[in-house]
Amino acid sequence: MRLHPTRYRMPKMKTIAIALLTASCMGLGTVPGMAQTTTPVASSLAMAKPASAYSSGVVYDWFYLSFQLTQQTPGFSPPVAARALAYMSLALYESVVPGMPGYQSLAGQLNELSSLPWAQPDEPLHWPTVANAAMATMTRMMFSNASAENKARIETLERSLPLKYTQDFDPNTVTPDISNRSETFGKLMAMAIMTWARTDGGHEAWGPIRRSQANYVPPSGTGKWSATPPAFAPALLPYWGQNRPIVLKTAADCPAPPPPMYSEEKGSEFFKQGQEVYDISNAATQEQRQFALYWADDAGKTPTPAGHWAYITNDLLKSRKASLASAAETFARLNIAMSDAFVAAWNTKYTLNVLRPVTYVQLVIDSNWVPTLMTTPPFPDYPSGHSVQSSAASAVLAKEFGANLAFVDNTHNDRGWGPRTFKNFKSAADEAAASRLYAGIHYRFASDGGKPQGQCVADKVLALKFKP
Protein backbone atom coordinates (compact mmCIF):
# COMPACT_ATOMS: atom_id res chain seq x y z
CA MET A 1 0.00 0.00 0.00
CA ARG A 2 1.36 3.39 -0.96
CA LEU A 3 0.29 6.55 0.88
CA HIS A 4 0.07 9.92 -0.80
CA PRO A 5 0.51 13.20 1.02
CA THR A 6 -1.82 15.79 -0.49
CA ARG A 7 -0.67 19.31 0.25
CA TYR A 8 -0.10 18.33 3.91
CA ARG A 9 1.13 21.00 6.31
CA MET A 10 0.77 20.95 10.10
CA PRO A 11 1.73 23.79 12.45
CA LYS A 12 4.62 23.09 14.80
CA MET A 13 4.97 19.65 13.22
CA LYS A 14 7.34 18.16 10.69
CA THR A 15 4.62 16.95 8.28
CA ILE A 16 2.61 13.79 8.11
CA ALA A 17 5.79 11.80 8.54
CA ILE A 18 5.37 12.24 12.30
CA ALA A 19 2.10 10.35 12.24
CA LEU A 20 3.51 7.66 9.99
CA LEU A 21 6.66 7.30 12.10
CA THR A 22 4.53 6.99 15.24
CA ALA A 23 2.41 4.38 13.54
CA SER A 24 5.52 2.46 12.54
CA CYS A 25 6.77 2.54 16.13
CA MET A 26 3.43 1.14 17.23
CA GLY A 27 4.00 -1.89 15.06
CA LEU A 28 1.55 -0.89 12.34
CA GLY A 29 3.96 -1.68 9.54
CA THR A 30 6.37 0.22 7.36
CA VAL A 31 5.36 2.86 4.87
CA PRO A 32 6.63 2.71 1.30
CA GLY A 33 7.82 5.74 -0.65
CA MET A 34 5.84 8.96 -0.63
CA ALA A 35 4.66 10.73 -3.78
CA GLN A 36 3.43 14.32 -4.13
CA THR A 37 0.05 14.86 -5.74
CA THR A 38 -3.05 17.00 -5.49
CA THR A 39 -6.05 16.01 -3.38
CA PRO A 40 -7.29 12.76 -4.94
CA VAL A 41 -10.94 12.00 -5.67
CA ALA A 42 -12.16 8.61 -4.47
CA SER A 43 -12.52 5.85 -7.02
CA SER A 44 -13.29 2.17 -6.58
CA LEU A 45 -10.15 0.27 -5.72
CA ALA A 46 -9.38 -2.69 -7.90
CA MET A 47 -11.44 -5.77 -7.00
CA ALA A 48 -12.92 -4.00 -3.95
CA LYS A 49 -16.55 -3.22 -3.25
CA PRO A 50 -17.25 0.44 -2.41
CA ALA A 51 -18.03 1.58 1.13
CA SER A 52 -21.65 2.09 0.11
CA ALA A 53 -21.99 -1.69 -0.33
CA TYR A 54 -21.64 -2.29 3.41
CA SER A 55 -23.91 -1.55 6.36
CA SER A 56 -23.27 1.12 8.97
CA GLY A 57 -23.25 -1.47 11.76
CA VAL A 58 -19.60 -0.84 12.66
CA VAL A 59 -20.29 2.90 12.86
CA TYR A 60 -23.36 2.41 15.03
CA ASP A 61 -21.58 0.27 17.60
CA TRP A 62 -18.53 2.52 17.88
CA PHE A 63 -20.57 5.65 18.42
CA TYR A 64 -22.86 3.86 20.85
CA LEU A 65 -19.80 2.94 22.92
CA SER A 66 -18.48 6.50 22.65
CA PHE A 67 -21.66 7.80 24.29
CA GLN A 68 -21.05 5.52 27.26
CA LEU A 69 -17.37 6.45 27.43
CA THR A 70 -18.25 10.15 27.34
CA GLN A 71 -20.54 9.66 30.31
CA GLN A 72 -18.04 7.63 32.31
CA THR A 73 -14.69 9.26 31.53
CA PRO A 74 -13.44 12.13 33.74
CA GLY A 75 -13.10 15.54 32.12
CA PHE A 76 -15.59 15.08 29.30
CA SER A 77 -17.48 18.33 29.64
CA PRO A 78 -19.68 19.31 26.65
CA PRO A 79 -16.95 21.07 24.60
CA VAL A 80 -14.48 18.24 25.18
CA ALA A 81 -17.05 15.62 24.21
CA ALA A 82 -17.97 17.47 21.03
CA ARG A 83 -14.31 17.69 20.04
CA ALA A 84 -13.79 13.96 20.58
CA LEU A 85 -16.81 13.06 18.47
CA ALA A 86 -15.63 15.38 15.70
CA TYR A 87 -12.18 13.83 15.39
CA MET A 88 -13.59 10.32 15.60
CA SER A 89 -15.94 11.21 12.74
CA LEU A 90 -13.14 12.69 10.67
CA ALA A 91 -11.02 9.59 11.16
CA LEU A 92 -13.98 7.49 10.06
CA TYR A 93 -14.75 9.56 6.97
CA GLU A 94 -11.17 9.96 5.82
CA SER A 95 -10.44 6.28 6.29
CA VAL A 96 -13.27 5.13 4.02
CA VAL A 97 -13.50 8.01 1.52
CA PRO A 98 -11.05 6.27 -0.86
CA GLY A 99 -13.85 3.69 -1.21
CA MET A 100 -16.52 6.30 -1.93
CA PRO A 101 -16.51 6.98 -5.70
CA GLY A 102 -17.31 10.61 -6.45
CA TYR A 103 -16.22 11.82 -3.00
CA GLN A 104 -13.00 13.47 -1.90
CA SER A 105 -10.90 14.00 1.20
CA LEU A 106 -11.54 17.13 3.27
CA ALA A 107 -7.79 17.78 3.42
CA GLY A 108 -7.16 21.24 2.05
CA GLN A 109 -10.52 22.52 3.28
CA LEU A 110 -10.01 22.14 7.04
CA ASN A 111 -7.79 24.50 8.99
CA GLU A 112 -4.09 23.64 8.75
CA LEU A 113 -4.83 20.18 7.37
CA SER A 114 -3.40 20.07 3.87
CA SER A 115 -2.70 16.35 3.45
CA LEU A 116 -3.68 12.88 4.60
CA PRO A 117 -2.72 9.31 3.61
CA TRP A 118 -4.42 7.95 0.52
CA ALA A 119 -4.86 4.33 -0.51
CA GLN A 120 -3.05 2.74 -3.44
CA PRO A 121 -5.66 2.20 -6.21
CA ASP A 122 -4.39 -1.25 -7.19
CA GLU A 123 -4.38 -2.66 -3.65
CA PRO A 124 -7.97 -3.48 -2.58
CA LEU A 125 -9.11 -2.64 0.94
CA HIS A 126 -12.04 -3.91 2.95
CA TRP A 127 -13.84 -0.82 4.17
CA PRO A 128 -15.57 -2.23 7.28
CA THR A 129 -12.16 -3.45 8.47
CA VAL A 130 -10.64 -0.06 7.69
CA ALA A 131 -13.43 1.71 9.60
CA ASN A 132 -13.21 -0.67 12.56
CA ALA A 133 -9.47 -0.14 12.89
CA ALA A 134 -9.72 3.64 12.50
CA MET A 135 -12.51 3.98 15.06
CA ALA A 136 -10.83 1.66 17.55
CA THR A 137 -7.53 3.55 17.29
CA MET A 138 -9.17 6.96 17.54
CA THR A 139 -11.37 5.92 20.46
CA ARG A 140 -8.35 4.70 22.42
CA MET A 141 -6.56 7.99 21.85
CA MET A 142 -9.53 10.25 22.54
CA PHE A 143 -10.45 8.38 25.72
CA SER A 144 -6.91 7.69 26.86
CA ASN A 145 -7.87 8.39 30.48
CA ALA A 146 -10.81 5.97 30.48
CA SER A 147 -11.02 3.36 33.21
CA ALA A 148 -9.30 0.01 32.77
CA GLU A 149 -12.71 -1.60 32.41
CA ASN A 150 -13.71 0.76 29.61
CA LYS A 151 -10.38 0.35 27.84
CA ALA A 152 -11.09 -3.38 27.86
CA ARG A 153 -14.50 -2.68 26.32
CA ILE A 154 -12.77 -0.88 23.45
CA GLU A 155 -10.56 -3.92 22.84
CA THR A 156 -13.52 -6.28 23.03
CA LEU A 157 -15.63 -4.26 20.61
CA GLU A 158 -12.87 -4.11 18.00
CA ARG A 159 -12.49 -7.91 18.09
CA SER A 160 -16.21 -8.68 18.18
CA LEU A 161 -17.52 -6.60 15.29
CA PRO A 162 -16.31 -8.94 12.50
CA LEU A 163 -18.20 -11.74 14.26
CA LYS A 164 -21.31 -9.64 14.83
CA TYR A 165 -21.60 -8.29 11.28
CA THR A 166 -20.74 -11.40 9.31
CA GLN A 167 -22.53 -10.06 6.24
CA ASP A 168 -19.95 -7.26 6.09
CA PHE A 169 -16.93 -9.38 7.10
CA ASP A 170 -17.22 -12.34 4.74
CA PRO A 171 -14.12 -14.51 5.30
CA ASN A 172 -14.51 -15.94 1.80
CA THR A 173 -13.73 -12.57 0.25
CA VAL A 174 -11.63 -10.84 2.93
CA THR A 175 -8.26 -12.52 2.68
CA PRO A 176 -5.66 -12.17 5.44
CA ASP A 177 -3.64 -9.92 3.15
CA ILE A 178 -6.59 -7.58 2.53
CA SER A 179 -7.53 -7.64 6.21
CA ASN A 180 -4.02 -6.75 7.39
CA ARG A 181 -3.63 -4.03 4.80
CA SER A 182 -7.04 -2.60 5.71
CA GLU A 183 -6.27 -2.56 9.43
CA THR A 184 -2.98 -0.81 8.77
CA PHE A 185 -4.60 1.86 6.64
CA GLY A 186 -7.32 2.53 9.23
CA LYS A 187 -4.76 2.86 12.02
CA LEU A 188 -2.53 5.13 9.94
CA MET A 189 -5.45 7.41 9.16
CA ALA A 190 -6.42 7.69 12.83
CA MET A 191 -2.81 8.49 13.73
CA ALA A 192 -2.64 11.17 11.04
CA ILE A 193 -5.87 12.79 12.26
CA MET A 194 -4.68 12.64 15.85
CA THR A 195 -1.34 14.24 14.96
CA TRP A 196 -3.29 17.18 13.55
CA ALA A 197 -5.79 17.20 16.44
CA ARG A 198 -3.02 17.57 19.02
CA THR A 199 -2.21 21.02 17.61
CA ASP A 200 -5.68 22.57 18.03
CA GLY A 201 -5.29 23.75 21.64
CA GLY A 202 -7.88 21.42 23.13
CA HIS A 203 -5.87 18.24 23.56
CA GLU A 204 -5.98 16.70 27.05
CA ALA A 205 -8.45 19.31 28.22
CA TRP A 206 -8.97 17.49 31.52
CA GLY A 207 -5.45 18.54 32.51
CA PRO A 208 -3.48 21.78 32.12
CA ILE A 209 -4.15 22.58 28.47
CA ARG A 210 -1.49 25.24 28.21
CA ARG A 211 1.07 24.91 30.95
CA SER A 212 2.66 28.27 30.11
CA GLN A 213 -0.56 30.19 30.79
CA ALA A 214 -1.39 31.64 34.17
CA ASN A 215 -4.54 30.62 35.98
CA TYR A 216 -7.58 32.35 34.55
CA VAL A 217 -8.82 35.37 36.47
CA PRO A 218 -12.30 36.61 35.45
CA PRO A 219 -12.46 40.30 34.55
CA SER A 220 -14.01 42.48 37.22
CA GLY A 221 -16.63 45.11 36.60
CA THR A 222 -20.35 45.79 36.61
CA GLY A 223 -22.34 43.09 34.90
CA LYS A 224 -19.37 40.75 34.49
CA TRP A 225 -19.46 37.04 35.24
CA SER A 226 -18.23 35.80 38.58
CA ALA A 227 -18.23 32.33 40.14
CA THR A 228 -21.73 31.18 41.06
CA PRO A 229 -23.26 29.44 44.07
CA PRO A 230 -23.34 26.96 45.63
CA ALA A 231 -19.86 25.64 44.77
CA PHE A 232 -18.36 28.87 43.34
CA ALA A 233 -16.33 26.63 41.02
CA PRO A 234 -13.57 28.13 38.86
CA ALA A 235 -14.27 28.95 35.23
CA LEU A 236 -14.59 25.90 32.99
CA LEU A 237 -12.29 25.85 29.94
CA PRO A 238 -11.78 29.63 29.79
CA TYR A 239 -9.40 29.31 26.81
CA TRP A 240 -11.51 26.90 24.77
CA GLY A 241 -12.68 29.73 22.50
CA GLN A 242 -9.06 30.22 21.45
CA ASN A 243 -8.81 26.68 20.07
CA ARG A 244 -8.34 26.25 16.36
CA PRO A 245 -11.75 25.47 14.88
CA ILE A 246 -12.06 22.74 12.28
CA VAL A 247 -13.93 24.71 9.61
CA LEU A 248 -14.39 28.27 10.87
CA LYS A 249 -11.35 30.36 10.00
CA THR A 250 -11.48 31.81 13.51
CA ALA A 251 -13.91 31.41 16.38
CA ALA A 252 -15.10 34.96 15.73
CA ASP A 253 -16.25 34.12 12.19
CA CYS A 254 -19.71 33.32 13.56
CA PRO A 255 -20.53 35.99 16.15
CA ALA A 256 -23.66 36.02 18.26
CA PRO A 257 -25.79 39.18 18.16
CA PRO A 258 -24.97 41.61 20.99
CA PRO A 259 -26.86 41.03 24.25
CA PRO A 260 -28.90 43.80 25.91
CA MET A 261 -26.90 46.49 27.65
CA TYR A 262 -26.40 45.67 31.30
CA SER A 263 -28.66 47.61 33.63
CA GLU A 264 -30.15 47.26 37.09
CA GLU A 265 -32.93 49.75 36.38
CA LYS A 266 -36.38 48.18 36.70
CA GLY A 267 -37.61 49.42 33.34
CA SER A 268 -34.57 48.21 31.42
CA GLU A 269 -34.51 45.25 29.06
CA PHE A 270 -31.84 43.51 31.12
CA PHE A 271 -33.92 43.81 34.30
CA LYS A 272 -36.98 42.40 32.52
CA GLN A 273 -34.94 39.42 31.38
CA GLY A 274 -33.61 38.78 34.87
CA GLN A 275 -37.11 39.12 36.32
CA GLU A 276 -38.42 36.60 33.77
CA VAL A 277 -35.88 33.98 34.85
CA TYR A 278 -36.84 34.57 38.48
CA ASP A 279 -40.57 34.36 37.79
CA ILE A 280 -40.37 31.21 35.67
CA SER A 281 -38.13 29.47 38.18
CA ASN A 282 -40.58 30.18 40.98
CA ALA A 283 -43.62 29.06 39.00
CA ALA A 284 -42.42 26.72 36.26
CA THR A 285 -45.04 24.42 34.77
CA GLN A 286 -44.58 20.68 34.87
CA GLU A 287 -43.87 20.72 31.15
CA GLN A 288 -41.20 23.38 31.52
CA ARG A 289 -39.55 21.40 34.29
CA GLN A 290 -39.58 18.27 32.13
CA PHE A 291 -37.97 20.15 29.24
CA ALA A 292 -35.28 21.55 31.54
CA LEU A 293 -34.34 18.13 32.88
CA TYR A 294 -34.63 16.35 29.54
CA TRP A 295 -32.15 18.64 27.80
CA ALA A 296 -29.79 19.17 30.75
CA ASP A 297 -27.43 16.49 29.37
CA ASP A 298 -25.12 16.86 32.35
CA ALA A 299 -21.51 15.73 32.02
CA GLY A 300 -20.85 12.57 34.00
CA LYS A 301 -24.51 11.56 33.88
CA THR A 302 -25.30 11.65 30.15
CA PRO A 303 -23.47 11.68 26.79
CA THR A 304 -23.57 15.54 27.02
CA PRO A 305 -25.44 17.77 24.51
CA ALA A 306 -23.28 16.72 21.55
CA GLY A 307 -23.74 13.07 22.43
CA HIS A 308 -27.49 13.62 22.64
CA TRP A 309 -27.70 14.81 19.02
CA ALA A 310 -25.24 12.16 17.87
CA TYR A 311 -27.40 9.52 19.60
CA ILE A 312 -30.44 10.75 17.65
CA THR A 313 -28.42 10.57 14.44
CA ASN A 314 -27.12 7.09 15.20
CA ASP A 315 -30.69 5.82 15.63
CA LEU A 316 -31.83 7.51 12.42
CA LEU A 317 -29.01 5.97 10.42
CA LYS A 318 -29.76 2.54 11.85
CA SER A 319 -33.50 2.77 11.21
CA ARG A 320 -32.85 3.83 7.62
CA LYS A 321 -30.33 1.02 7.11
CA ALA A 322 -27.72 3.54 6.05
CA SER A 323 -24.56 2.38 4.35
CA LEU A 324 -21.09 2.75 5.80
CA ALA A 325 -20.41 5.56 3.33
CA SER A 326 -23.58 7.47 4.20
CA ALA A 327 -22.99 7.17 7.95
CA ALA A 328 -19.40 8.38 7.60
CA GLU A 329 -20.46 11.47 5.64
CA THR A 330 -23.37 12.30 7.97
CA PHE A 331 -21.35 12.02 11.17
CA ALA A 332 -18.51 14.07 9.73
CA ARG A 333 -20.83 17.00 9.00
CA LEU A 334 -22.76 16.75 12.26
CA ASN A 335 -19.88 16.39 14.67
CA ILE A 336 -17.64 18.96 12.99
CA ALA A 337 -20.50 21.44 13.31
CA MET A 338 -21.07 20.72 16.98
CA SER A 339 -17.37 20.97 17.82
CA ASP A 340 -16.97 24.30 16.04
CA ALA A 341 -20.20 25.50 17.65
CA PHE A 342 -18.70 25.06 21.11
CA VAL A 343 -15.51 26.87 20.10
CA ALA A 344 -17.56 29.79 18.75
CA ALA A 345 -19.83 29.86 21.80
CA TRP A 346 -16.94 29.72 24.27
CA ASN A 347 -15.15 32.49 22.42
CA THR A 348 -18.21 34.72 22.80
CA LYS A 349 -18.78 33.69 26.40
CA TYR A 350 -15.31 34.62 27.57
CA THR A 351 -15.15 37.75 25.40
CA LEU A 352 -18.37 39.29 26.75
CA ASN A 353 -18.34 37.66 30.22
CA VAL A 354 -22.03 38.26 30.92
CA LEU A 355 -23.02 37.42 34.49
CA ARG A 356 -25.41 34.55 35.17
CA PRO A 357 -29.06 35.02 36.25
CA VAL A 358 -28.36 33.69 39.74
CA THR A 359 -25.85 36.48 40.31
CA TYR A 360 -28.08 39.18 38.82
CA VAL A 361 -31.20 38.13 40.70
CA GLN A 362 -29.36 37.96 44.01
CA LEU A 363 -27.92 41.43 43.42
CA VAL A 364 -31.06 43.15 42.19
CA ILE A 365 -34.25 41.14 42.91
CA ASP A 366 -33.97 38.49 45.63
CA SER A 367 -30.76 37.91 47.57
CA ASN A 368 -31.89 34.44 48.68
CA TRP A 369 -32.82 33.02 45.27
CA VAL A 370 -31.11 30.09 43.58
CA PRO A 371 -32.40 27.99 40.65
CA THR A 372 -34.40 25.07 41.98
CA LEU A 373 -33.88 22.50 39.19
CA MET A 374 -30.12 22.52 38.67
CA THR A 375 -26.88 24.20 39.59
CA THR A 376 -25.64 27.01 37.35
CA PRO A 377 -22.63 25.83 35.29
CA PRO A 378 -19.29 27.54 36.01
CA PHE A 379 -18.86 29.76 32.95
CA PRO A 380 -20.33 33.01 31.57
CA ASP A 381 -23.94 33.24 30.45
CA TYR A 382 -23.99 34.55 26.91
CA PRO A 383 -24.73 32.81 24.62
CA SER A 384 -26.28 29.55 25.74
CA GLY A 385 -23.98 26.74 24.63
CA HIS A 386 -26.99 24.43 24.34
CA SER A 387 -28.62 26.89 21.98
CA VAL A 388 -25.58 27.36 19.73
CA GLN A 389 -24.74 23.67 19.53
CA SER A 390 -28.36 22.45 19.12
CA SER A 391 -29.07 25.00 16.40
CA ALA A 392 -25.94 23.92 14.52
CA ALA A 393 -26.82 20.24 14.89
CA SER A 394 -30.45 20.65 13.86
CA ALA A 395 -29.52 22.66 10.76
CA VAL A 396 -27.09 19.96 9.63
CA LEU A 397 -29.58 17.16 10.28
CA ALA A 398 -32.35 19.05 8.50
CA LYS A 399 -30.10 19.22 5.44
CA GLU A 400 -29.18 15.55 5.72
CA PHE A 401 -32.60 14.04 6.47
CA GLY A 402 -35.12 16.75 5.58
CA ALA A 403 -36.40 19.82 7.41
CA ASN A 404 -39.82 18.28 8.12
CA LEU A 405 -38.77 14.83 9.24
CA ALA A 406 -40.47 13.67 12.44
CA PHE A 407 -38.16 11.54 14.57
CA VAL A 408 -38.02 9.63 17.84
CA ASP A 409 -35.42 10.52 20.47
CA ASN A 410 -34.35 7.54 22.58
CA THR A 411 -31.34 9.15 24.25
CA HIS A 412 -32.75 9.11 27.77
CA ASN A 413 -34.85 5.95 27.68
CA ASP A 414 -32.59 4.36 30.29
CA ARG A 415 -33.41 7.23 32.66
CA GLY A 416 -37.16 6.84 32.19
CA TRP A 417 -37.52 10.06 30.19
CA GLY A 418 -38.32 8.69 26.76
CA PRO A 419 -38.85 7.89 24.03
CA ARG A 420 -40.01 11.29 22.81
CA THR A 421 -41.18 12.24 19.32
CA PHE A 422 -40.41 15.60 17.71
CA LYS A 423 -42.06 16.95 14.57
CA ASN A 424 -38.73 18.14 13.16
CA PHE A 425 -35.16 18.95 14.15
CA LYS A 426 -35.77 22.68 14.60
CA SER A 427 -38.53 22.11 17.13
CA ALA A 428 -36.19 19.92 19.17
CA ALA A 429 -33.41 22.52 19.00
CA ASP A 430 -35.79 25.30 20.03
CA GLU A 431 -36.92 23.23 23.00
CA ALA A 432 -33.32 22.54 23.97
CA ALA A 433 -32.54 26.27 23.86
CA ALA A 434 -35.63 27.25 25.87
CA SER A 435 -34.92 24.54 28.43
CA ARG A 436 -32.05 26.58 29.85
CA LEU A 437 -34.39 29.48 30.60
CA TYR A 438 -36.83 27.08 32.27
CA ALA A 439 -33.95 25.70 34.33
CA GLY A 440 -33.17 29.18 35.66
CA ILE A 441 -29.59 29.22 34.42
CA HIS A 442 -29.85 31.40 31.26
CA TYR A 443 -31.68 34.56 30.25
CA ARG A 444 -34.02 34.34 27.28
CA PHE A 445 -31.66 36.52 25.27
CA ALA A 446 -28.89 33.94 25.81
CA SER A 447 -31.08 31.14 24.47
CA ASP A 448 -32.32 33.21 21.53
CA GLY A 449 -28.92 34.74 20.76
CA GLY A 450 -27.26 31.36 20.39
CA LYS A 451 -29.52 30.29 17.53
CA PRO A 452 -28.12 32.51 14.74
CA GLN A 453 -24.60 31.73 15.88
CA GLY A 454 -25.31 28.01 15.60
CA GLN A 455 -26.94 28.46 12.21
CA CYS A 456 -23.87 30.34 10.99
CA VAL A 457 -21.61 27.48 12.07
CA ALA A 458 -23.86 24.97 10.31
CA ASP A 459 -23.79 27.04 7.11
CA LYS A 460 -19.98 27.03 7.12
CA VAL A 461 -19.85 23.27 7.63
CA LEU A 462 -22.53 22.57 5.02
CA ALA A 463 -20.43 24.53 2.53
CA LEU A 464 -17.65 21.91 2.74
CA LYS A 465 -17.16 20.11 -0.55
CA PHE A 466 -17.43 16.41 0.10
CA LYS A 467 -17.67 16.00 -3.67
CA PRO A 468 -15.41 17.83 -6.14
What's the pLDDT tens digit per position in 79-110? 999 999 999 999 999 999 999 999 999 999 99
Instruction: Check residue 90 and give its pLDDT.
Output: 98
Instruction: Check residue 173 and give its pLDDT.
Output: 86
- This prediction has a pTM of 0.91
In 143-268, alpha helices (H): 148-164, 176-197
Same domain, 408 and 321: yes
Helix (H, G, I), strand (E, B) or coil at 187: helix
Same domain, 257 and 156: no
Tell me which of 32-41, 144-153, 333-342, 432-441 is least confident: 32-41
Instruction: Return the higher-pLDDT residue of 67 and 203.
Output: 67
A 10 A CB-CB count for 68 gives: 14
Instruction: Check residue 35 and give its pLDDT.
Output: 31
| pLDDT of 135 higher than 90 | yes
State how many domains the chain has. Answer: 2
Does any domain span residue 233? no
| pLDDT of 446 higher than 50 | yes
Q: What is the pLDDT of residues 217-269, one digit of tens each?
A: 999 999 999 999 999 999 999 999 999 999 999 999 999 999 999 999 999 99
Per-state percent for the chain, helix, strand, coil, to nearest 5:
50, 5, 45
One-letter amino acid for residue 407 of the chain: F
Does any domain span residue 23? yes
| pLDDT of 357 higher than 80 | yes
Same domain, 187 and 248: no
Average pLDDT over residues 30-47: 40
When pLDDT is cut at 50, 70 and 90, the band that residue 272 belongs to is: very high
Q: What is the pLDDT of residues 284-328, one digit of tens each?
A: 999 999 999 999 999 999 999 999 999 999 999 999 999 999 999
| pLDDT of 195 higher than 60 | yes
When pLDDT is cut at 50, 70 and 90, the band that residue 21 belongs to is: very low
Beta carbons within 8 Å of 202's beta carbon, 6+ residues apart = 79, 80, 83, 209, 240, 243
CA distance 90 to 86: 6
| pLDDT of 73 higher than 70 | yes
DSSP run (H or E) holding 421: strand 420-422
Same domain, 323 and 420: yes
Same domain, 317 and 190: no
| Residue at which a domain ends, from 163, 197, 231 | 197
CA 80, 76, 314, 198 torsion: positive or negative? positive
Average pLDDT over residues 401-409: 98
Average pLDDT over residues 419-434: 98
When pLDDT is cut at 50, 70 and 90, the band that residue 418 belongs to is: confident
Instruction: Check residue 212 and give its pLDDT.
Output: 59
Does any domain span residue 6? no
Same domain, 266 and 117: no
| pLDDT of 42 higher than 60 | no
User: What whole-number percentage of the chain has pLDDT above 90?
Assistant: 84
Q: What is the pLDDT of residues 161-187, one digit of tens each?
A: 999 999 999 988 899 999 999 999 999
Does any domain span residue 152? yes
Does any domain span residue 206? no
Average pLDDT, the chain: 90
| pLDDT of 396 higher than 60 | yes
Same domain, 283 and 368: yes
| pLDDT of 273 higher than 90 | yes
Instruction: Check residue 18 and give its pLDDT.
Output: 39
| Residue at which a domain ends, from 172, 197, 222 | 197
CATH code: domain of residue 250: 1.10.606.20
Same domain, 193 and 274: no
Instruction: Check residue 47 and give its pLDDT.
Output: 57
Instruction: Check residue 247 and give its pLDDT.
Output: 98
Does any domain span residue 43? yes
Does any domain span residue 103? yes
Instruction: Check residue 3 and give its pLDDT.
Output: 40
For the chain, what is the total number of helices (H) and then of strands (E)? 14, 2
What is the separation of C-alpha 461 from the centre of its chain, rounded to a whole number of angstroms?
A: 13
Cβ burial 45-64 (10 Å sphere, 16+ → b, else e)? beebbbbbebbbbbbbbbbb
Cβ burial 290-311 (10 Å sphere, 16+ → b, else e)? ebbbbbbbebeebbbbbbbbbb
Instruction: Check residue 1 and give its pLDDT.
Output: 41
**Size (the chain), residues:** 468
Same domain, 155 and 277: no
In terms of residue numbers, what domain contains 183? 17-197
Helix axes 78-96, 127-142, angle to 10 degrees: 150
When pLDDT is cut at 50, 70 and 90, the band that residue 32 belongs to is: very low
| Residue at which a domain ends, from 197, 232, 262 | 197
Instruction: Check residue 126 and give its pLDDT.
Output: 97
Same domain, 265 and 160: no
Does any domain span residue 131? yes
Same domain, 261 and 176: no
Same domain, 188 and 252: no
Tell me which of 16-20, 41-45, 160-164, 442-446 is least confident: 16-20
Instruction: Check residue 397 and give its pLDDT.
Output: 98
